[in-house]
Structure 1
């Protein structure tokens, strides 16, 4: 039911060079207050099991939203690129969701969606 995103990105040297080891990648709502930047958060925003008429599903498909926050736009883009490269051998990037700047923290944000198939 849940993708192995943390173990995938934690094993990638380019990601850990930017986000630390263990990487500053948090499930939605769990980034600590005042976390060092850059960092990323992820959440499941959709999905469904692969249903069959004659048997239980053997795989769950889900869509994740990944948001990267950094003090500079270039840093947010670099982290997003490293995450993309780490994730693509395991899942599909399906949407670039845009970029903006958080009005409260002044952090730059870039976001993208991933479709992940997770065997049961």
Structure 2
């Protein structure tokens, strides 16, 4: 039912080179375990809607937030570029939503919003 964020990221050698592959450090619901290795990626689905037709919805549109996290200011740029390229293969980038450093954790973050259309 949900958009294929993890499969898109896991299919990218550039992404896996940065976040590992056994398992890849990609976490749903917008949060990661407290002591996770860095860098990593989080994603969530803050919204969406059914594509209305004359009979019944034939697809769902999901608005997905994907955040890249790193303790290194140069590495975050590389990770964000790789993540963007990977996720755009199955979605449309609609917004850049973050380029900041978290006050508490001191981790760098770059975030994106993508739209996925998933046929029913």
**Fold agreement, TM-score > 0.5:** yes
Q: Deviations over 1:81-109 (max 9, x none)?
A: 10111111210011011211111111011
**How far does residue 30 in structure 1 lie from its aligned partner after superposition?**
4.8
Distance in 2 of aligned mates of 1:80 and 1:23: 15
The equivalent of 1:46 in structure 2 is: 47
Whole-angstrom CA distance in 2 between matches of 1:86 and 1:13: 9
Aligned residues: 119
Aligned to 1:71: 71
Unaligned runs of 5+ in 1: none
How much does 1:53 deviate?
2.1
Q: What is the CA distance between 1:39 and its match in structure 2?
A: 0.6
Structure 2 unaligned regions, length at least 5: none
Q: CA RMSD in A?
A: 1.2
Q: Superposition pairs for residues 36-115 of structure 1, below 5 Å?
A: 36-54=37-55, 56-115=56-115
- Counterpart check, 1:119 vs 2:98: no
After TM superposition, the runs of 4+ consecutive aligned structure 1 residues lying more than 2 A away are none
* Distance in 2 (alpha carbons) for counterparts of 1:8 and 1:108: 23
CA distance in structure 1 between the aligned counterparts of 2:50 and 2:74, rounded to whole angstroms:
37
